[in-house]
Structure formats: structure tokens, C-alpha cells
Structure 1
Amino acid sequence: MLRNWWNILILAIPSLVSFATQTVTGTVNLIMVGGLGFITIAIVGVSNIIMYNAFAIFSGIGHTVNYLVAQNYGAGDMRKGIERTYLAMMMCLVFAVVIALVGWGAADQILSWTGGSEDLVRQGSFYLELRFYAMAFGIINFAFHGFLRGIGATRMSMVVALISNLLIILLTYAMTFGELGFPKLGLTGAGFAILIGEAVQLLICAYIFFFVLHKRFHTRSRKAIVFQWPEMKLIAFESGKLGVQEFSLSFSMYIFTAFVARLGDRALAANEVALSVMALGFMPAFAFGATATILVGQNVGRGTPHIGRRVGTDTAILGTLFMIILGTVEFFFAETIAHWYSKDPEVYLLAAFLIKVSAYLQIFDGLLNYYAGGLRGIGDTTFLLRISFLVSWVLFVPLAYVCIFILDMGSLGAWLSLYSFLLVFGISVMVRFYRTDWNAVKLKQAEGH
């Protein structure tokens, strides 16, 4: 067991650092721009939710590359893995253009749909437009990282994330406040910083894929650039299911944020501060969930799915231990942390209360990520789509509406509905993982193969 745990940590810790770097980047940026006022905090927070939705629609491509390449790697058939990666990149390029066009033509309208004040929409429209442009690069980057994780190169993925996110932090400071020879652009500068960081990350990912990994996997081989309709159909279908699953979750969070916005700009700012802090707690969940996908997928490829089941369980145990440690830190230092974001007493005191409420409840979000990662590893994407839609729209959104507007429970009611949703979702996915017939689990193939 100790050997399994060590192998899990070798993969999980770089992923943890990578996700933590992204989360810390968002946290540091929110703290830096927080000095511009609570309206700015609300703009960045709402924009984060909107971009999460934009990303979610197309994130299924990266998740699909991740688990298919993991299976191909385990089976020793990386030629197929490279072919599938090329097909996925073709899809990403098309969708990147769509995302950029949406940002160019509809950023202000999308921001107004959240129900924020006129000041919020007026000050935040161009910032959101820049975030859409950055997301066009981001979905391609996510697919590249899916490939790296699929082959177990989590340390390489971590280094890329560190370079990109440190650049974003530096540029946010310089371009927001006019330091290091840059003009003082305020919130607009923060938007440009994210755009530049994502563009640089794409250049680094392309260099790694086409040059660093070419000797090992022949990534520049013309034979890999083959359009095969059965494979494209498989990738599109799997990406669609995983994308709709993520979008179902993210859009329900968008509705949730719109509900909270009706409580006022300060309540919305406190909600976004709390979500930003809790994202630090979510990072072990994401990291160990990604590790479960890698190890379960590779074992499916090797023809040893029962070992994948065992490793999936060990991954969940280790991830939960990390969540407990972080939850404890967040609980006892909630007010101090919230005060870093805002000096407005109404904002940081409410945010601190919400952080304490969710410090240990986030363990259920961990269960969701670990076992969903395991199910992705075996290709059980249909169940993930169905349960995501069910709990998001039959439970979460109606319960949030009742708690906020009918029972008049304010921000507390909003967060109790959020964690009721995560509890049911997490347990449902865990039960599915253990009730799966692992004797029937096989390598994912396109129709006709």
C-alpha cells in the first residue's frame, strides 16, 4: 500500500502545485485589484464565474485527451494517442475562434445578465472581453496539459503552469499600478496580464509537444496528422458529454452567483472572496482527481482495471487527508485571510463566516473530484453527464432559490444549498465507482475498431 501511495504522490504533488499555482494566481490578483474597491472585486469575481462557464463548454476536449491518452499510454499505443491529440487540437482551434468572437461582440451583454449594478457592467465590460480572448488560448493549453497528464508528465505540466502564472502575477502588478515601466491601466491592465500569460503558455506548450517530446513520441510525424471520422466522432462525442457535464455545473454556479448578486454588491463581493479562498481548498481535490484519471486510465490500457480500482481508492484517501489539513487552516484563520482581500468590514466579516461554514464541508467536493476522475479513467462519461445534470438543476438551483429568496437566509442559505449539492453529488459518484463491474471495463475504442 505504501508503494501505491508513493506512486500516487509522485503524480499528484506536481498536479497539486500546478492547480495551486493557478488558484494562488487568481487569489493574488484578486487581492491586488481589491485595493481598487469592492466594485472591482465583484467584477473580477463575476468574470471568473462567466469564464468558468465559457471554459466548461469546451473543457471536455482536454478531459477527453487526458483519459484517452492515458489509456493509449498504458496500452503501449502512443501512435493512436498522438493521432487523437491532433484531432482534438483541430477542434480546439475552431472553438477558440468562436470564444474570441463572443468576447468581442457580447461581453457587456453577458456581464449585464448577472444582475449586477450599472456601474459593475460599465466598468467591467472591457475586462471581460480581454478574459474571453485569454480563454481562446486557454482551451488549447488545457488540451496540451491533458496530453501531458495522460503520459504521466505531471512535473512538466507543473513547470509550464508555474512559468505562465508567475508571469501573470508580475504583469498584473506592473500593468494595474503602473510599475516596472508599464502604464497604469487599472483593471484593464489585469485583463491584459491574463491574456499575455495564456498566450505565452501556448507557445511553451507547443514547443514541448512538437520539439521536446518529438524524440520520444514522434509528435511531428505526418502519419499522425490523419483525419479519421470514427476517431473524430469518438473524441467529439466524449468531449461533448464531458463538456456538457462541466457546463451543467458551471452554469448552475452562474445562476447561483446571479441569485447572490440580488443581495447587493457587498454580499456579492463577500461571496466571491469566500469562493476564492475555498478554491485553495479545492486544489487537492482537482489534483488527486486528475491523478485518479491518469492511474485508472493507464491500468485500463494495461488490461489491469482492478489495480486501477485499488489505486483510485488510495487516491481518494490521500486526497481527503489533504482536504482535512487545508480545511483546518481555513477554519482557524478565516477572518485574517478574508481581511487580505478587503478592508470593508461588511465584506470581510461575511466572507470569513462563509469560509468557516465551508471549511470541512468541502471534503464532499473532494469525493466528487476523486471518484469522477476515476470514472473518467474508465470512460464512464455518460453517467457523469446524467448525474451532473440531475443534481445541478433538480437540486442545487431550486434549493438555492428557496434558501435565498423564500426562506430569506441570505448568504448563509446560498452556501448551505451549495454544499448540500456537493454532498449529494460526491456520494453519488463514489457509489457509482464502487458499483461498477470492473470485469467489464475495457479500453475505449472508436466504432468499427
Structure 2
Amino acid sequence: MMKDWKKILLLAIPSIASFASMTLTGTINLIMVGQLGALAIAIVGVSNIIMYNAWAIFSGIGHTVNYLVAQNYGSNQMKKGVERTYIAFYLCIIASVFLLLVGFLFPADIFRVMGSSADMITEGENYLQIRFFAMIFSVFVFVFHGFLRGIGDTKTPMVSAIIGNLIMIFLTYGLTYGHLGMPDLGLSGAGIAFLTGEVVTFLICAYFYFVKLHAKFGTRTIVPFNRLESKLIFKESSKLGFQEFSMSMAMFVFTAFVTRLGTHALAANEVALSVMSLGFMPAFAFGSTATILVGQEIGRGDPTAGRKAGTNTAILGCIFLLILGVVQFFLSEPIARVYSGDPMVYELAGKLIMISAFLQLFDGLLNFYAGGLRGIGDTSFLLKTSLVLGWVFFIPLSYILTFTLQLSSVGAWISLYSYLALFGITVMIRFYRTNWSTIKIKVVSDDVKHSISS
């Protein structure tokens, strides 16, 4: 048992550091930008939700590379893994054109759809535009990270993320307020800092993939177009992308509900989300570790070992989130005060943090076991469950508790964690009810063969 846990931690800790650095960077940036006022906090918070939706649409590409490369690595078929990664790059180019057009043409319209005030649209339009440009590089980075994690290298994604995030923090401090001899650009400066950090992370990842790994895996060898593999990558990316998009759109509507409660309620909501992301991101890290370990064991032809690895990863992840929840519960309001000195913001944010401190364990279950299901390629179930629970359960419940029963922000957060709890338990049950003896590596022939019944 201890040997298995050590292996998990050696993969998970760099991923935790990587995701935590992203979370910490977002937290520090929000604190720095927050000194511009509640409107600035609200703009950044709404922009984060919008960009999460944009990322979610194309995130399936990186998720697909992650689990397929893990399987190929486990089966010693890395030529196939590199081929699949190149196909993913081609999809990323298409995604980049889309993001570029949306960033140029529609930032103000997107804010209007969110029900934002005229001031928010005026002050936030340029910031959101820059964030769309930054997302172009984020999509490629997620594919690079998916490949690297698939081969068991979680340290390189950590290094690239930390360096990019440090640059982002430095430039946010300088460009937002004109410190260190830099121009005073306000909120637009924070957007430029974000873009620069993403570009640096992209360049580091590209160097490792095309230069450092070429001798071992032939990563600079352009592969010929393979129709069947392209069909597989596109189909799997679409399912995983729509799953993430379904969840993110549900959060989009959730945020739109909270937006209508007023600027202070929205600011408190974003502060609470920022604090709770300290739990979200480690949950993602353990979920990614589950995908790696399960996928590699499937590639080696030992699905029973994959099931065991997924279980051990979930146990360790729950322990981590439980400790974090204790800290957040007892220090909820002091933590909220770090973000804002406005009593209307930090008092409400403190209540929301207390509500979610221990309930985030269910978000952990969702990530851990969804990661395991991705490792075996059970992508159809994840998509269907996300659609049903997000739109049939979460959104109606949010409206009822927030407006019909007039519970405001507290009602909105009760609905959020009711949704995460049900989703997490459902995915966990699926993981253990799967017939693991039938699981095989994902392959293509005249038809795309699925390893499991989806």
C-alpha cells in the first residue's frame, strides 16, 4: 500500500504544485486587481467564468491526448502517441482561429448576455478581449501538458506553469498600477500580464516537446494524415469537450443568476470561488493522476491494477481536501477579508466559504473518479451525466433556491454543492460498477472500436 501511495504522490505532488500555482496566481491577481474596487473584482470574476467556458469547449483535446498517450505509453506504442498528439495540434489551430475571431468581435456582446451593467461592459471589454487572445496559447499548453502527463512527466508541466505564473504576477503588479517603472494600464495591464504568462508557458512546453523529447520519441517527425485516428481524436475530444462545456455553461448560468443579485453579491461570490479553487485545483491534480495511472495500466493489459490505482488516488485526494476544508471552515471570514475590506463583500463571502469547506469533498470525488473513467476511455458516460445533472438538476435548483425561495447567494451555493455531490457520487458508482475485466486499450480499425460499452 505505501509503495502505491508513494507512486501516486510522486505524480500528484508536481500536479498539485502546478494547479495550485495557477490557483494562487489567480488569487494574488484578484487581490491586486481588487484594490481597484468591487467593479474590477466583478469584471475579473465574470471574465474568469467566460474564459472557463471558452477553455472548456476545446479542453477535450488535451484530455483526449492525456488518456490516449497514457495508454500508448503503457503499451510501449509511443509512435502512435506522437501521431495522436500531432492530430490534436491540428485541432488546436482550428480552435485558435475561432478564439481570435471571438476576441476581436464579441467581448461586449458576451458581457451583455451575462446581464452585466453598462459600467462593467465599458471597463471590462478590453480586458476580456486580451483574455481571449491568451486562451489561444492555453489550448496548446493543455495539449502539451496532456502529453507530458501521459508519459508520467508531471514535473515539466509544474515548472512551465510556475515560471509563467510568476511572470504573470510580476507584470500584474507592475502594469496594473504603474509600479517598477511600468506604464499604469489598470485592468488592461492585468490582461496583458495574463497573456504574457501564457505565452511564456507555451514556449517552455514547446521547447520540451520538440527539442528535449525528440531523441526519445521522435516528436519533430511530422506524421501523415490518418483518417481513422483523426476521427477517433475528434470524437473523443468532442465528448470530453462537451462534458466540460456543459459544466462550464451551467456555471455560466449560475453566475448570471448571482450577477442579478448586485455587484456586492457577485464580488462575494467571486471571492468565495477564488478561495474554494484552492480545493478545486488539487482535486483536478489527483484526477489527472488517476487518468495517468489508470491509462498506463490499461496499456499494460492490467485493468485490475488500474482500478486499484484509481481507488488509492481517490483516498489520498480525500485526505488532502479534508485537511484543507478544516482550515477554510475556521478561517473563512479572515481569509475573505484579505480580498476586500468591504463588509458587505467579506461577510457574505465568509458564509459561502463555510458552506463549501467540507462539501468540496464531493467535488473531489467527481474529479478523482472522472479521471479514472477517462483513463479507461469511458467518455460517453461522463458526457451524458454532465448534461443531465447540469441542466435538469443544477440550473432549475439554482433558480428555485436563489429567487423563488429568496435565499440569494446562500441558496445559489447550496444548489452548487448539491449538484457536485450528486455528480461525484454518480461517477464513483460508475467507476466501481464497471466490468474491469473487459477494459482494453483504445484502438482504431475500419471502425473506431470502443474498449467499453458507452
Aligned pairs (5 A) from 1:423-434: 423-434=421-432
Aligned pairs (5 A) from 1:6-17: 6-17=6-17
**Residue number in structure 2 paired with 1:66:** 66
Tell me the distance in 1 between the aligned counterparts of 2:16 and 2:332. 22
**Pairwise CA distance, 1:374:** 0.1
Residue identity in the other structure for 1:348: Y
**Residue number in structure 2 paired with 1:34:** 34
Tell me the distance in 2 between the aligned counterparts of 1:265 and 1:251. 21
Aligned pairs (5 A) from 1:201-212: 201-212=201-212
Tell me the distance in 1 between the aligned counterparts of 2:96 and 2:221. 24
**Pairwise CA distance, 1:221:** 2.1
**Residue number in structure 2 paired with 1:286:** 284
**Residue number in structure 2 paired with 1:86:** 86
| Match among 304, 322, 328 for residue 324 of structure 1 | 322
Tell me the distance in 2 between the aligned counterparts of 1:91 and 1:425. 29
Residue identity in the other structure for 1:283: M
Tell me the distance in 1 between the aligned counterparts of 2:279 and 2:95. 31
Tell me the distance in 1 between the aligned counterparts of 2:198 and 2:282. 23
Tell me the distance in 1 between the aligned counterparts of 2:343 and 2:120. 20
Tell me the distance in 2 between the aligned counterparts of 1:63 and 1:386. 17
Identity of aligned residues (%): 61
3-state SS in 2 of match to 1:430: helix
Q: Which moved further from structure 2: 439-448 or 358-367?
A: 439-448
Residue identity in the other structure for 1:165: N
**Residue number in structure 1 paired with 2:243:** 245
Tell me the distance in 1 between the aligned counterparts of 2:111 and 2:171. 24
Tell me the distance in 2 between the aligned counterparts of 1:211 and 1:286. 28
Tell me the distance in 2 between the aligned counterparts of 1:219 and 1:187. 39
- 1:403 has 2:401 as partner: yes
**Pairwise CA distance, 1:97:** 1.4
**Residue number in structure 1 paired with 2:417:** 419
3-state SS in 1 of match to 2:443: coil
**Residue number in structure 2 paired with 1:200:** 200
**Residue number in structure 2 paired with 1:129:** 129
Offset from partner CA, 1:295-353 (integer Å, 9 cap, x none): 00000000001000001000000000000011111111111110111111000110011
**Residue number in structure 2 paired with 1:183:** 183
**Residue number in structure 2 paired with 1:369:** 367
Alignment check: 8 A CA contact 1:375 1:381 kept: yes
3-state SS in 1 of match to 2:444: coil
| Match among 274, 277, 295 for residue 275 of structure 2 | 277
**Residue number in structure 1 paired with 2:147:** 147
**Residue number in structure 2 paired with 1:342:** 340
Offset from partner CA, 1:193-228 (integer Å, 9 cap, x none): 011111111111111111011111111124xx2110
Tell me the distance in 1 between the aligned counterparts of 2:387 and 2:134. 28
Residue identity in the other structure for 2:421: L
Residue identity in the other structure for 1:397: I
- 1:106 has 2:106 as partner: yes
> Could you state the TM-score of these two structures normalised by the residue count of structure 1?
0.99
Offset from partner CA, 1:105-139 (integer Å, 9 cap, x none): 00010011111211111110110000000001110
Alignment check: 8 A CA contact 1:281 1:323 kept: yes
Tell me the distance in 2 between the aligned counterparts of 1:101 and 1:362. 36
Tell me the distance in 2 between the aligned counterparts of 1:377 and 1:72. 11
**Pairwise CA distance, 1:98:** 0.7
**Pairwise CA distance, 1:447:** 3.5
- 1:304 has 2:307 as partner: no
Residue identity in the other structure for 2:210: F
**Residue number in structure 2 paired with 1:50:** 50
Residue identity in the other structure for 1:335: E
Tell me the distance in 1 between the aligned counterparts of 2:445 and 2:171. 47
**Residue number in structure 1 paired with 2:4:** 4
Q: Which moved further from structure 2: 175-184 or 372-381?
A: 175-184
Offset from partner CA, 1:365-388 (integer Å, 9 cap, x none): 000000000000000000000000
Tell me the distance in 1 between the aligned counterparts of 2:3 and 2:224. 40
Unaligned segments of structure 1, at least 5 residues: none
Tell me the distance in 1 between the aligned counterparts of 2:216 and 2:140. 22
Offset from partner CA, 1:25-59 (integer Å, 9 cap, x none): 10000000000000000000000000000000000
3-state SS in 2 of match to 1:443: coil
Tell me the distance in 1 between the aligned counterparts of 2:29 and 2:332. 19
Offset from partner CA, 1:73-114 (integer Å, 9 cap, x none): 000010000000001001001111111110110001001111
Tell me the distance in 1 between the aligned counterparts of 2:10 and 2:233. 29
Alignment check: 8 A CA contact 1:403 1:409 kept: yes
Q: Which runs of 4+ in 1 moved over 6 A?
A: none
3-state SS in 1 of match to 2:108: helix
Aligned pairs (5 A) from 1:146-165: 146-165=146-165
> Could you state the TM-score of these two structures normalised by the residue count of structure 2?
0.98
3-state SS in 2 of match to 1:25: helix
- 1:261 has 2:276 as partner: no
- 1:354 has 2:357 as partner: no
Tell me the distance in 2 between the aligned counterparts of 1:137 and 1:9. 29
**Residue number in structure 1 paired with 2:76:** 76
